[in-house]
Amino acid sequence: MTRDQIRDADGVALYRHEAIAAVLQVRRVDDVERLTVLLSRRRDEPFAGLFALPSGAVETGEALDAAVLRHLAAKVDVSGVTHLEQLGTRSDPGRDPAQRTIATSYLGLVPTSSDPALPERARWEPVDALPALAFDHGIVVAEAVERLRAKLSYTNLGFALMPTEFTIAELREVYVAALGHDVAPTNLQRVLTRRGQLVPTGELSRAGTRGGRPARRFRFAEASLIVTDPFAVLRPEG
């Protein structure tokens, strides 16, 4: 704890500050689409050998979101990250047993179409079967998943998980994996269409080898976060 005592010229305590990235992607694991998170096995103490989220210190003159992207770039092609938003800041003095560190976590999303090469120690792991994680990173993953699931319900955040064009069946598979429960394709299309999120491209997919009607292709109307279903109850309609 002696390291915490470092102060500036005014006597104000100074802290390490780091950025943590919980990057989620729907990936095919054992022939099933699963919601996964990018992890990296730690080389050094503390928690050497355990999996952890990509994270690292904020540099001089650098904003937090820039720091997340910089540390993320060491693990994955950041041009594939279609959405990034702040989750929260964790400050429990004991969260890093080595030294006092305040950490701000971010949720990142990568579309199914992207499959970037990973360095040796990094892997995508399904969020519903995680190993023990270093620090409080398990909680951060849980917060990231919760945020994603909530926003899939009242925003157009699905765009960040999908390629630019897709069929309803493909969209459904991603929603099922991300939400963790079944979704009826009929209702998925209706809800997202009514909210103006889905636009048909006019093109059709080829039918599969076992036959069936060719599926229409769609894209999301907007490629950035929009609240499409604001939960404003008690608002007069006039």
Partner DNA sequence: ACAAAAGTGTTTGCCGTACACCCATGG
Partner DNA sequence: CCATGGGTGTACGGCAAACACTTTTGT
Closest to a second copy by CB, 43 or 235:
235
The stretch near a second copy (CB under 8 A) out of 22-30, 133-141, 178-186, 200-208 is 178-186
Q: Is 209 in the site for DNA (CB under 7 A)?
A: yes
DSSP 8-state code for residue 132: P
State in angstroms the smallest separation of the CB of 210 from a second copy: 27
Tokens of 111: 């579309």
Listed as own residue / partner, the contacts of 198-202 with beta carbons closer than 8 Å and 24 or more positions apart are 201/165
Dihedral angle, C-alpha 47, 48, 49, 51, nearest 10 ° = 50
User: CB under 8 Å to 161, separation ≥6 — which residues?
Assistant: 25, 26, 82, 109, 110, 111, 112, 174, 178
Residue 12 touches which of a second copy, DNA, none (Cβ within 5-8 Å per kind): a second copy
CA 34, 38, 43, 46 torsion-angle sign: negative
State in angstroms the smallest separation of the CB of 107 from DNA: 23
Footprint of a second copy on 81-140 (CB under 8 A): 86, 88-89, 91-93, 99-100, 102, 104
Q: Is 154 in the site for a second copy (CB under 8 A)?
A: yes
d(CA 65, CA 27): 25
Q: Which of 43, 206, 210, 235 binds a second copy (CB under 8 A)?
A: 235
From the list 101, 117, 139, 118, the residue with the least C-alpha distance to 22 is 139
Q: Is 235 in the site for DNA (CB under 7 A)?
A: yes
d(CA 159, CA 83): 9
Residue 80 touches which of DNA, a second copy, none (Cβ within 5-8 Å per kind): none
Footprint of DNA on 66-95 (CB under 7 A): none
Residue 24: CB atoms within 10 A of its CB come to: 24
User: CB under 8 Å to 38, separation ≥6 — which residues?
Assistant: 21, 23, 24, 25, 53, 54, 75, 76, 118, 122, 123, 124
Q: Which of 28, 73, 194, 199 binds DNA (CB under 7 A)?
A: 194
Q: Is 238 in the site for DNA (CB under 7 A)?
A: yes
Contacts with DNA by CB under 7 A lie at 167-169, 184-187, 189-191, 194-195, 204, 206-216, 229, 233-238
Contacts with a second copy by CB under 8 A lie at 1, 3-6, 8-9, 12-17, 57-65, 86, 88-89, 91-93, 99-100, 102, 104, 150, 152-154, 175, 179, 181-184, 187-188, 191, 229, 231-236
